[in-house]
Amino acid sequence: MNSLRLSVSVLTLWLAASLAHAASYQYFCIGNKNDIQAKPVPGVAMMGGGSDLDEAFRWLCQKGNGGDFLILRATGGDDYNSYVNGLCKLNSVATLILPDQKATQDPAVAKIIRQAEVVFIAGGDQGNYLRGWKGTPVQDAINANIAAGKPIGGTSAGLAVLGGEGQRDETLLLNRLRRIALWQPDL
């Protein structure tokens, strides 16, 4: 009887510990879940919000050379996955939702970002990105991707974060973006 109580107690503690360390992020992926090694080309696509620009997403996909395309957001869903997947031939398209500081500290989150060949920061409230990502492994992973020459894009709040607006002279991302050619639509 004592061994049964001990087993139940150990199981209860294990379950409680597992739930306490459960991921607070959400990850939605379509396509191949296995990482591939593509050779991306540097680039930045900044969109002002409103309607999505198919040409800009295709351009980012081309820069990613068939690798993994990752959409980052603090809230929302995986709406971009099917949209981007319909525009481009990629290994995968995924959305990573990081609603809180706990999510940004998870080592799995930084790994997902670093493995992506393209990162796109969705719109929303730029304050969520600034408060949630600054000084975290998420910021480090995004900066590492930029330093490695991987393309990055953003719309609305994502554009603002990439451009450093609203941050009182503090940039979320390193100034490496200034050394990368910006996407310009043909006029």
Is residue 4 exposed (0-12), middle (13-18) or buried (19+ Cβ within 10 Å)? exposed
Per-residue pLDDT, 127? 86
In a domain, 2, yes or no: no
Domain count, the chain: 1
Name the range with the highest mean pLDDT among 10-24, 147-161, 169-183: 147-161
The CA-based angle 48-54-57, given to 5 degrees, is 75
Q: Give the pLDDT of residue 48.
A: 82
Residue 100: give the domain boundaries: 23-179
pTM of the model: 0.79
CB 52 within 8 A of CB 159: no
DSSP 3-state of 116: coil
> For residue 2, what pLDDT band results from cuts at 50, 70 and 90?
low
* Cα 127 to the center of its chain, rounded Å: 16
- Whole-angstrom Cα distance, residue 49 to residue 55? 14
Checking if the pLDDT of 186 tops 60, the result is no
Q: Is residue 16 assigned to a domain?
A: no
Q: What is the CATH number of the domain that holds 30?
A: 3.40.50.880
Question: Based on C-alpha coordinates, what's the Rg of the chain?
Answer: 19
| Within-domain flag for 9 | no
Quick one: CA dihedral 21, 24, 25, 28, positive or negative? positive
Specify the residue for token string 């800009």: 56
In a domain, residue 28? The reply is yes
Confidence of residue 158 (pLDDT cuts 50, 70, 90): confident
CA 62 vs CA 55, 74, 180: distances in Å:
10, 26, 16
Domain membership of residue 5 (yes or no) is no
| 151 within domain boundaries | yes
Structure confidence at residue 78 (pLDDT): 96
Answer whether residue 17 is part of any domain. no
Whether 67 is covered by a domain: the verdict is: yes
Confidence band, pLDDT 50/70/90 cuts, at residue 22: low
State the angle between helix axes of 126-133 and 137-147 in degrees (0 to 180), rounded to the nearest 10: 100
